[in-house]
Amino acid sequence: MGRLSGKTAIITGAGSGIGRASAILFAQEGANLVIADKMDSVNETADLVRQAGGKVTALTGDAGDEAFVESLVAKALAEYGGLDVAWANAGISGGWTTFDEQDGAFWAEILRVNLIGAFLLVKHASRVMIPAGKGSIICTASVAGIRSGAGGSPYSASKAGVISLAQTSANEFYGTGVRVNAICPGLIETGMTKPIFEGARARGNEDKIGQLNPLTRGGVPIEIAGAALFLASDESSYVNGQAIVVDGGLSSSHPVVRRKK
């Protein structure tokens, strides 16, 4: 018996990176999956899930569009008869731009996908979970949502909002048995962070990746997937309204000059 046997899970942003690694891991642990991404690569993830022995339905669409998000929940019900886990993982970074280069439309798009998209999955998943008296909702936030230095201003603001969403919605669902938590990844090698990693390698500075955290390395998607698996499983049945940080220890310290012993 896997840790998610008999459970049905939705994962957005499953076309690559953290979402793909998590879809495969969830399938290996027995979950039935509905996965989504704006990229067609979500179908490649579905093939990998099937190779892992999992049941999966893949859809392509916009995680910030309410009709599409509602359709994901409807698909879970139609295909698998219920919904136990919903992970709002889809997000965009916006890159590093100065305040002078930003405008309202730029901010609005990042907030629409990262924060409103998460809200929409919380809203529609909870409508199914509350009558069942249980369910785990996960939102991908970031260490950028905790303090400055890990992302651009609109991205960081959106992820701070995701942390607040997890806290406030957990309390909105008081007494229902539905849990809401956020995961805050640090520097993880994904499509979003690819330029950082490739740039460091091109400069011969690969050994400096992750130098600001006490593990002195970047992370990989499966390390975030493991945290999500815990939150999705019954092992986390008393964990609610939390922002779980997975960053190698980066956010545990103020900036400091390190000296090797």
Contacts of 130 (CB under 8 A, 6+ apart): 173, 176, 177, 178
Cβ atoms of residues 95 and 153 within 8 Å: no
Catalytic residue among 80, 155, 174, 238: 155
Read off the tokens for 151.
């992302």
- Please name which of 65, 84, 41 lies closest in space to residue 179, comparing C-alpha atoms: 84
Beta partners for residue 32, in sequence order: 8, 55
Read off the tokens for 187.
């520097």
- Please name which of 215, 197, 201, 204 lies closest in space to residue 258, comparing C-alpha atoms: 215
Q: List Cα–Cα distances, 232 to 150, 183, 236, in angstroms.
A: 26, 12, 7
Size of the chain, expressed as the number of residues it contains: 261
Residue pointed to by tokens 């495969």: 24
β-strands 32-37, 243-246 pairing? unpaired
155 is catalytic: yes
Which strand (E) or helix (H) includes residue 56? strand 55-60
Q: How far apart are CA 173 and CA 183, in angstroms?
A: 19
Phi/psi region, residue 209 (left: phi>0; alpha: psi -120 to 50; beta: rest), is: beta
Active site residues: 155
